[in-house]
Amino acid sequence: MNYKIINLEEYYRKGVFNHFSKDAKCSISMTSRINVTELYKASKESQTKFYLNFLYVLSTALNRKEDYRMMYNWKTNEIYCFDEINPTQYVFHDDTKTCTPVYTKYYKDYKVFYKNAQKDIDEAKKTREYLLDEASHPNWFDASFMPWVSYDSFNVELPDGYLYFQPIINWGKYRWESDQLMMPVTVRLNHAIGDGYLVSLVYLLIEEEIQKLVEKLRGAKWK
């Protein structure tokens, strides 16, 4: 786990950071539907799991920009920017109706990521514990799938003034709208390090990564 410390005096969002970390502490979130038709079809064609494919897409998208790889260290009043950020999955147990957090390391190599993510899920199914070790896993973001409903809005609230910088991403059940399979995705960022543009950019990056993975799943390299 490598990181650099952001020089707050040279930080390109210095003014915004100071305002939203001191005067108007808040977060910003958005829910938008994305077209996952081709990813769904490519997953079926390649006999891979849509969920894991989207998790890879999401993780790759967030790793493309430093703004999504930040953490605030309240002990030292420093902002860390990690070389990479990894997804924390939540594995649901049908018998207890509870979930288990799973730390899955991000790999740019799709096959390696897919294999390890599935292994992490299989291991999590053996327990019913809910344990989060944030001290040992600072460079992680929340990736929570809610397959029971296709929603229009979703909010995650944290204590007022809590400078939690890691992205919190939720997505729900996809559904057909005309001839397209649309899936709701919610992106939450702390306003001190994110704004409407950076939240919106997540969706654009996801769209780009979906296209790349679809081509890979359908191409000779994957086969």
Instruction: Give the model confidence (pLDDT) of 69-122 as tens digits.
Output: 999 988 888 999 999 999 999 999 999 999 999 999 999 999 999 999 999 999
CB 156 within 8 A of CB 29: yes
Q: Are 91 and 125 in contact (CB under 8 A)?
A: yes
**Quick one: what percent of the chain has pLDDT higher than 90?**
81
Domain ranges, ordered by start, for the chain: 3-218
Model's pTM, two decimal places? 0.94
In whole angstroms, what is the distance from residue 190 CA to residue 199 CA?
10
Look up the CATH number of domain 3-218. 3.30.559.10
